[in-house]
Amino acid sequence: MHQRKNTIRLDPQAERVLLLVRWSVVPQYSEMTPAQARYWHNRKAGLLDVRPQTVFSVEDCSIDGPGTEIGLRIYTPRKPTGLFPVLVWLHGGGHVVGSLDSYDPLCRTLALLADCLVVSVDYRLAPEHKFPAAVNDCFAALSWVARRGESIIGSDPTRIAIGGDSAGGNLAAVSAILARDDGFPPLVFQLLVYPRTAPDEEFPSHHEFAEGYLLTRKTIRWFHNQYLRREENRRDFRYAPLICDDLSGLPPALVMVGECDPLRDDGIAYAERLQHEGNAVELSVYPGMIHAFFSMGGAIDAGRRAHEHAATALKRAFGTAPAQGDTPIRLKTK
């Protein structure tokens, strides 16, 4: 288990972001209604993210889900010359906030850097749709890509990855387990960015970074209370993949966490369990980083480095990593 450090220091760019947050005097989500939280989330979305990049196409569509239609946004990086590998992306937001629009710049970036289709999933949010609605929607979207993506969007059914950040990382981890158990073609990769994996909020990092590091313990508990249908849901692996009885036979994983994130130990513990049960795992702890740094590439250099790291890992999993000496893609900056 990760040992607490007494010398942890915030990255100066992350510290600047926290100062801007304090100056903004916007209440914490836990002090808002879900509708108000979504309003403020969408207003802030993109302010610190990378500049939106131009891709070949962006298309919105909907598919049949479990009792409802599920919206998808499909990013194609360049003119197709064959089947593309595909990343199914599940956005963060505590299962309460977040949208296709708020993650648009990030999805464009991942599509270009990894040279793959990105299918962003507009799963249902709590509290209107409590656990396991989001799980059901995400797995239905993944199943659709696996079974129909080749004929409809030109995706390669043998090169499918799943990924997400925070609550989306939780849903990606759960979807990978469900995909293994469902028996459709194995996923080639899972990208888990500061995933929430534990059944409670008691890892040391939840207490060490409870206040003053953007995502607070109070907000985490508020998100969970909105999402849970009943307290016993905490004992369901679809809520907390860390407690799944069997984590063997899962796709290779890259688990990325920030050192100063209350969810840090969730990600570390999950990476350790994946490795212990025989899976290929890379764990990357970003020094001095706060929660959501992956979506702050316009203000935090480590966010952009994390995009490149994720894309390189995806391309290796897809079998499309450039040969040594090839020129990597460079994105425009603000």
Under DSSP, the state recorded for 171 is H
Tell me the three state secondary structure of residue 25. Answer: coil
Helix 133-152, helix 167-182: angle, nearest 10: 60
84-90, strands of its sheet edge to edge: 57-64, 69-76, 117-122, 84-90, 155-165, 189-193, 253-258, 281-286
Unique residue bearing structure tokens 């899962």: 250
Contact in structure between 38 and 97 (CB atoms under 8 Å): yes
Active site (catalytic) residues? 166, 261, 291
Going by C-alpha positions, the residue among 283, 281, 165, 259 that lies closest to residue 204 is 259
- The kind and range of the H/E element at 222 are helix 217-227
User: How distant is the alpha carbon of residue 118 from its chain centre?
Assistant: 13
Cα three-residue angle 314-315-320, rounded to 5 degrees: 155
Alpha carbons 45 and 269: distance in angstroms, whole number: 29
